[in-house]
Structure formats: structure tokens, C-alpha cells
Amino acid sequence: MATKKVPFNLQTCARPNILVLEPYRCARDDYKDDGTNILLDANENAYGPALSINGSLAASPDPNDPSVDFLGLNRYPDPHQHELKQLLCNLRNTHVHTQKNITPANLFVGVGSDEAIDALLRCFCIPGRDKILVCPPTYGMYAVSAQVNDVGLVKVPLLPAPEFALDVSTIISTLSGPESSNIKLIYVCSPGNPTGSLIKKADLQKILEHPTWNGVIIVDEAYIDFAQEGSSLAEWVAEWPNLVVMQTLSKAFGLAGIRLGAAFTSPDIASLLNNLKAPYNIPSPTSAIACQALQTAGLNVMRDHRANIVGQRDRLLTELQKIKGIGRLRGGTSSNFLLVEVLNGAGSPDNTTALKVYQSLAQNRGVVVRFRGKEHGCLGCLRITVGTEAEVTRFLTEIEAVISEVWKI
């Protein structure tokens, strides 16, 4: 007979000090500014930002000139970001994985996904006692943030390439073991970095259905918009109280410079994350740019750029296999990069050869990729980001020449 699942208990999973944390509040939380108020509550500079345009003061730009907009930079930004959160919900309410709608109450927005990674650790893990579980090869910031927060690391490697799937049976047995109560978080990258492989929804569900483990599963979907349509599990948080799905505007939206990430989760977890964040963590220009990108026109641009990237990704897949010295594709094609083997003269994947190729490309040819040969299951591998048509053309020419040179050494 199947063991009945014990419901997720936020009160015993989160840190007690976070559960009782009173968030920072400002006067504008209580009194909505309609644009006519005199704002003398936050010690701001009422004369405006110390900026100029063409030698003129920027404090009072011409209201009839739409090109001059300083977004109220002398004022603190909106701490709640309701408009931005609603636009993110509009994007992810696809009703592929649930008929429920997620709302701004399901969201935390931060300075890239890295803020969410760290905030979750601070929310759930007691330093020096608790642990997180990661599945290498994976994004390195999970381990870095754990170390910064004095949180232990449990590793359950992904199954071998090319699939790089979750080792569900080992994860489940680990969560049933003697130290399972101290494993508070599981970080899963999907599509994986550096693997490019999409994690199976069914595998995640098996872990979510663990009968006794009381923890949170975080799915990092930084590259999800390069995967098949409908792959994002963001809306699925409406079905699981202990699921977090992180996303970013750095990849498909091409907005790495604004540093905007989002964590979709249950309202209870979102509330804890919002309580512990800095009061004004999202700058006004970041919010304004993100909102523009999430409108219809911005989404159309993103989709056009994505189509170009996917086209060049397919081209790379075809052309790389024609180059002597390039081995197998390792991993999947659900991202804007590929993980491929570099072979030695004997035809075997080899870290020494791959490292020489990586270094020569960067130092002698001005083409920078990533060497990933030291990561679990990635022997002799380079991770290659998909560039423009011209960049891909140059890369293909340069890597063929470099491999030929390295083989002669």
C-alpha cells in the first residue's frame, strides 16, 4: 500500500526568525501616492537627480519631450512591483500545467535569479546545520551561495550524458535517509547549465510527492524560453506549496544588464521572500525596461530574436559535426548554448586538448567560449553560446583552424 504523503509544513521548514520577521515598511505602504502628494517622508532629494542633458538641468525635463524621462530617479522605486509581477504572470499563465491562475501574490522579483537563490537559503536554511541538494553538473551559484551562508551541500549527480536526467531514485532515497530533515532545499536547473537538457516534469513530480520529506524544490528556468513551447512550469506553483520556479530576463529577453529575476511560488513562500528582501531592491529603470519588454511589442521582439538564435543553434549542430576534432553533443538543445566534446588525436574526448582549444580561441583568435571539462560528466567539453550569424560563421572558421593547430603540437 502506498504511503500517504505528509503535507508540506512551512512552519517547520522555514527558519523561525524568518517566520516572525516584520518587513521594513515606509509611509507609502500606508498612503498611496497618486502623483499629487508632497513627498516629505523618505529624505529624498526633491530637486531631482544630479544629471544633465546637453548641458541643461535634468530636474524638470520638458513634459512634451518623450525622449527625456528620468523615471523619477530622485525618488525611491516602488517596493512592490505589482505591474511588473502582473506582466510576468500574464506571460506564464498558459494553462498547460494547471487551470489555476498565478497572480502577483505568487511572485518575488530580485536582482537577477542570484538574489532569489540567496534569499531562499536565508529563508529556509539555518547556518551550520542545514543543507541543500544539488545535481551536478549544474549552475555554480547554488554552491557558492550555500558556502557564503554556511549551509552544507549534498550532491546527487545527474544521470550520464546525453540525457543528463535527474537520478530520481537516489534523490528519493537521500530524502528518506537519516539526514533528510536537514536537507531543506533542492536546486534543479532546467534546462540545465551546462547541459542544455530539460528536466522531465514527471521526475520532478516524483520528488514533490515524496511522502515524508518537508522541503522546497527550486527549478531554475533561466533558459526556458529556448525550450519547446509550454515547457515552463512557472504556473505549476499553483498546485504545489513547496515548489519555486525561478526565471530571468537575462537570456531570451537579452536584458542581462538590468539584472532582473523572478521567483514564482506559493503566496506563503513569496511573502517570506518579500519580507526579507531589501526595501527597494528593484531600481526604477530596471522595472520600467522590464515592463516594456513584457508588453506585446517587446514580446514580439524577443520571439524574433529567439527564432534567429534557434536557427543559428541548428546551424551549429549541423556544422560542428563536420569539423574534425569535434566529438559528440553532450546534453540537450533546449537552451541558447551547446555542450560539445573536443577530441584528441586518438579520437577520444580529452581535457588537455579542450583546454588548449579554449585558450587558443580566446587568446589568439578573439573568440571566447567556456571550458567545462572539469564538471561531472563533461570530459573534454566546451560550452558554446549561440551568437549572431556572423559570430557563428567566425567561430566555426576559428575553431576548425585552432583544433588543427593544437593537433600538430
Tens of pLDDT, residue by residue over 283-299, are: 999 999 999 999 999 99
pLDDT for position 57: 56
SS3 state at 362: helix
DSSP-derived secondary structure letter, 188:
E
CB 392 within 8 A of CB 309: no
Does residue 208 have a pLDDT over 60? yes
**Which pLDDT does position 62 carry in this prediction?**
53
Residue 133 has pLDDT above 60, yes or no: yes
Beta strand spans in 223-308 (E): 243-248, 261-264
User: Judging by beta carbons within 10 Å of its beta carbon (0-12, 13-18, 19+), is residue 19 exposed, middle or buried?
Assistant: middle
Residues in Cβ contact with 205 at an 8 Å cutoff, skipping those fewer than 6 apart: none
Please state, rounded to an integer, the average pLDDT across all residues of the chain: 93
Q: Is the pLDDT of residue 353 over 90?
A: yes
Residue 68 pLDDT greater than 50, yes or no: no
Domain boundaries, the chain: 76-294, 302-408
Residue 190 has pLDDT above 90, yes or no: yes
**Residue 5 confidence class, pLDDT cut points 50, 70, 90:** confident
Asked if pLDDT for residue 401 goes beyond 90, the answer is yes
Please check the confidence at residue 2 and state whether its pLDDT lies above 70. Answer: no
Q: Which CATH superfamily is domain 302-408 in?
A: Aspartate Aminotransferase, domain 1 (3.90.1150.10)
Pick the CATH number of 76-294 from 3.30.1330.10, 3.40.640.10, 1.20.1560.10, 3.90.550.10: 3.40.640.10
Does 156 have pLDDT greater than 90? yes
Based on C-alpha coordinates, what's the Rg of the chain?
24
For 12-22, what is the mean pLDDT? 95
Torsion of CA 392, 393, 394, 400, to 10 degrees: 100
Tell me: pLDDT of 116 over 50.
yes
Peptide bond into 241 cis (omega under 30): no
Question: Residue 48 to residues 3, 68, 284: CA-CA distances in angstroms?
Answer: 63, 13, 14
Does residue 40 have a pLDDT over 90?
no
Question: Residues with Cβ < 8 Å from 363, sequence gap 6 or more?
Answer: none
Question: Does pLDDT of 171 surpass 60?
Answer: yes
Q: What is the pLDDT of residue 196?
A: 98
Residue 66: pLDDT band by 50, 70, 90 thresholds? very low
Confidence of residue 1 (pLDDT cuts 50, 70, 90): very low
| Residue 67 pLDDT level (bands cut at 50, 70, 90) | very low
